Structure 1
Amino acid sequence: MHSEAETFAFIDECKYALDQLFQILDIRLKAIHNLSRSLAEIEQIEYLLTDNFVEQDQWSVNANSYYIQYMDRMKALAEEKQGIATEPERQKRVLEMLARIGATEESMAVLASAVLQIGKQVLSFRFGGKPNLKNVREVASQLVVEIIWEGRNHTMHWEEANPRRPVVDMLQKLQTSGVKIIQGRNNALAIIAVLNWKSASEAIEDLKSLVIAENT
């Protein structure tokens, strides 16, 4: 066990590693996020284009030119919408692109596992073992400490296919709360997502809040 000050210093030492891990994870997150516009986004663009043409451009001296541009853009949006709705190859192409840059789900899960390992190390450094903290946030019907601690245990031992009861309970609660957990896989990405750790600063802020929490 270590003091709050010692643990804050330990977290500061871990900051560089967390920064590097999240920088690489962010490549995949951005690639997936920017894969394509959602249908809702395309429909919003269609609405704005139509509204602009009806309210303004049709009265312009260049109305014919604007109308042609408007129709061309609407046609392109319709084709894009059709592609999102019906093209199964779209996701396949993105996954292939991610594989080319080494950002497969499996490789990213290894990095997410390292994030959870650091999280557990911080808790161990501060409290010695798994703490029973009061007044900490809940995620998916359980305390965040449970997700960090047992999430790390899951990611370190998932290949053994013999999870301990606390790990099983934690994963089941995540599933009950709507989190997609795949049996026989490393679910580290889903776990850091449910923790809402999208960057090193968010993970560090969360861990520092746990450092100062009361252990019963």
Structure 2
Amino acid sequence: MNQYLIDTEFAVQSLFDLVTHELNQINALEIVLNERRENARKIYSDAYYVTDLDGDDLETPEMYMRRNGYVQHASAAQKIQSEISKLEESYKSKDSSIRTLYGSILQIAKQGLSTVFRGSIQTAIIEPNTGEPIHNIILQGRNQSMHFEEGINKKPVKECFMKLQLAFGNDFDLNIGDNKAKFVVVDALGWRTYHDYLTTMNQLLP
């Protein structure tokens, strides 16, 4: 195994462990979010249902809704909606964290290529769905992850991601200006574990 891979083994393994932990956290969070959204939907549905049971033409709409419990239902729904908003913020934060961790994995992989080859790579290993060299997917994926907040993508990044989008779908659409690192690592490179990463890097680094 190349010395660079030996030297960075602990760091990359730790990053994959952190990603696994964060993915478990975000999956659990998503379950809670879906439950809260369903509860809110049901409460709102019940609120509108009770106001349509037995209207009295002599009542004002405000009196009618109060008598049938609409206010109580709406208040309960608003409370859950507030909780949903907080959960959604947590979800966004964890998703951003996961993307950053994947970006760090790409950075270490890219640095390995730069350290070993110090220039152009002579032997290319091709990703079969795109026809794109794997080392270029690593490089352009890293570049996009590092600079996505600037909103400006250089030509090599655009060309690479156009192929990735055609092969893997709109998660790779650069018009959606998010950090694409997790899609590059998981979908394009197939690195779901440290072992997956190491298999590819052993092929790339002599």
Distance 1:23 1:111 in 2: 10
Deviation at residue 133 of structure 1 after TM alignment: 2.2
Q: What's 1:196 paired with?
A: 190
Larger relative contact order (CA 8 Å, sep ≥ 6): 1
What amino acid does structure 2 have at the position aligned with 1:113? G
Structure 1 segment 10-49 matched on structure 2, within 5 A: 10-31=4-25
What amino acid does structure 2 have at the position aligned with 1:114? S
Tell me, yes or no, if structure 1 residue 140 matches structure 2 residue 129: yes
Distance 2:19 2:110 in 1: 19
1:67-109 deviation digits (Å, cap 9, x = unpaired) = xxxxxxxxxxxxxxxx89x9498xx96x938938x96111111
Distance 2:39 2:104 in 1: 33
Q: What's 2:177 paired with?
A: 184
Closer, same or farther: CA 130–104 of 1 in aligned 2, 3 Å: farther
Please identify, of 120-129 and 172-181, the stretch whose mean Cα deviation from structure 2 is larger: 172-181
Secondary structure of the equivalent of 1:177? helix
What amino acid does structure 2 have at the position aligned with 1:99? S
Distance 1:143 1:105 in 2: 28
Distance 1:175 1:97 in 2: 27
Q: What's 1:64 paired with?
A: none
Scaled by the length of structure 2, the TM-score of the pair is 0.64
For the pair shown, which has the larger CA radius of gyration, 1 or 2?
2
1:44-88 deviation digits (Å, cap 9, x = unpaired) = xxxxxxxxxxxxxxxxxxxxxxxxxxxxxxxxxxxxxxx89x949
Gaps of 5+ in 2: 41-82
Tell me, yes or no, if structure 1 residue 131 matches structure 2 residue 121: yes
Question: Is the CA contact (8 Å cut-off) linking 1:120 and 1:149 kept in structure 2?
Answer: yes
Q: What's 1:40 paired with?
A: none
Question: Is the CA contact (8 Å cut-off) linking 1:130 and 1:149 kept in structure 2?
Answer: no
Aligned pair partner of 1:170 in 157, 160, 175: 160
Question: Is the CA contact (8 Å cut-off) linking 2:126 and 2:133 kept in structure 1?
Answer: yes
Distance 1:99 1:130 in 2: 42
Provide the aligned length of Structure 1 versus Structure 2. Answer: 156
Aligned pair partner of 1:159 in 149, 154, 161: 149
1:1-38 deviation digits (Å, cap 9, x = unpaired) = xxxx7xx11111111111111111112333456766xx
Q: What's 2:44 paired with?
A: none
Q: What's the RMSD between the two structures over aligned residues?
A: 3.1
| Percentage identity across paired residues of the two chains | 25
Closer, same or farther: CA 105–140 of 1 in aligned 2, 3 Å: farther
Deviation at residue 181 of structure 1 after TM alignment: 2.2
Q: What's 1:111 paired with?
A: 101
Distance 1:198 1:165 in 2: 28
Gaps of 5+ in 1: 37-82
